[in-house]
Amino acid sequence: MSNNNNTNCVNLSSVLQPNGGDIFSRRCIWVNGPVIVGAGPSGLAVAAGLKREEVPFIILERANCIASLWQNRTYDRLKLHLPKQFCQLPNFPFPEDFPEYPTKYQFIDYLESYATHFDLHPKFNETVQSAKYDERFGLWRIKTNSRSGLLGSVEFEYICRWLVVATGENAEKVVPEFEGLEDFGGDVLHAGDYKSGERYRGKRVLVAGCGNSGMEVSLDLCNHDASPSMVVRSSVHVLPREILGKSTFELGVTMMKWMPVWLVDKTLLVLTRLLLGNTDKYGIKRPEIGPLELKNTAGKTPVLDIGTFAKIKSGKIKIVPAIAKFGPGKVELVDGRVLEIDSVILATGYRSNVPSWLKENDLADIGIEKNPFPKRWKGEAGLYAVGFTRRGLSGASLDAMSVAHDIANSWKEETKQQIKTVAARHRRCISHF
């Protein structure tokens, strides 16, 4: 098979007409295999699996690079939260000289090497506008808009049997509405646009959010001599990243082989209490449900502490309750306190963008989120999803292998049937002759 992913695509039609100075093109393309939406780790892993099975495919990516979230929306100090062996993609281990917790730059290099190794070539700068299943023909119709090169704005419609959604749960920033924020007057930034605390040196910064991003941004601000106050609205589990020199995640996974989840949770919390102390004492209340059970049932990830909690205990990072409203240069909290602040960083998370383009249904409606673990990756009518089970890179890798294998089986079976049909027609023609 050719190394070009697009070899098995056929241009069915092309209509060109002028459009305000640009050439506006609509092209209909048949894909003899799946269309993968998203060139992050999940999409690349599915594509690599299909490549190994010699199944043709196309990867559509709205950004101009692979892993755009990692490349464009992460802060400079970011490292993988889990040891590298739990974050590698299928059939391609991390280099041995990489540290146990690779930096974001090392992870991006790893993904670039992965794409090169498997000869993956996404179609960049191509945004999916809609994807709809055509029940009459039993095919997916994916409409995209591409703006690049001499052609200007170009519209494509891809027609295929299988659609793989690999855009992830973090495609769009969540920016809540706060009363008075427009009157604040200071710098307001989403954590996705935060790079370093250098620009905040000496400033009073409110960090809205206490997940892994909020905790690490607060630590980075503190290390750059800023004065962060972190908003903690609800309960959250904070665990040390390592316990007795062993990854907390790895320790939990190991214990679950021999113990029920509730007992693993209880053990982890006892060890955490010994290492970190009582987090409630510092304004961080723990949920009633244990960290692993909460992750499994609600998808809420515990915070893996890399030094933030020590800064909280020392008072260098202040914990404050929920925001009531903003005013010029200040914020009022729900307990009535008013803080004078210079800047706000919204560590308020991300959400999927799938509902905006997967038309007339979504991942829940057609079965992917209804299917019990471990088959949440498979929906109906040739629809698949990778990276939506809230199990991190390791879970996405497992799902990617399952998806690639499942599609390959269907593709090979259909190809066999097509060959048999053509052969039968050929025999009939010969007999008539």
Q: Is 392 helix (H, G, I), strand (E, B) or coil?
A: helix
The whole-number pLDDT of residue 3 equals: 42
- Write down the pLDDT at residue 2: 39
Coil, strand or helix at 261:
helix
C-alpha dist (Å) from residue 406 to 3, 36, 135, 382: 21, 14, 21, 10
Smallest CA-to-CA distance from 184 within 26, 338, 361 is with 338
CA separation for the pair 181, 189 (Å, rounded)? 12
pLDDT computed for residue 170 by the predictor: 85
Q: What integer pLDDT is reported at residue 29 of this predicted model?
A: 92
What is the DSSP annotation of 275-310? HH--GGGGT-PPPSS-HHHHHHHH-PPPEEESSHHH
pLDDT tens digits, the chain, 433 residues: what are they?
334 454 466 665 543 344 444 444 568 999 999 999 999 999 999 999 999 999 999 999 999 999 999 999 999 999 999 999 999 999 999 999 999 999 999 999 999 999 999 999 999 999 999 999 999 999 999 999 987 666 678 899 999 999 999 998 888 899 999 999 999 999 999 999 999 999 999 999 999 999 999 999 999 999 999 999 999 999 999 999 999 888 999 899 899 999 999 999 999 999 999 999 999 999 999 999 999 999 888 878 899 999 999 999 999 999 999 999 999 999 999 999 999 999 999 999 988 888 889 876 555 544 455 554 445 788 889 999 998 877 788 889 999 999 999 999 999 988 877 776 655 555 565 555 5
Look up residue 405 and give its two tokens.
Answer: 């294998």
* Burial of 405: CB neighbours in 10 Å, binned 0-12, 13-18, 19+: middle
Angstrom distance (rounded) from CA 179 to CA 326? 6
CA distances from 389 to 45, 302, 363 (A): 15, 16, 11
DSSP assigned state of 65: S
Query: Two tokens at 112?
Result: 């670039």
CA 207 to chain centre: 22
pLDDT for residue 159: 96
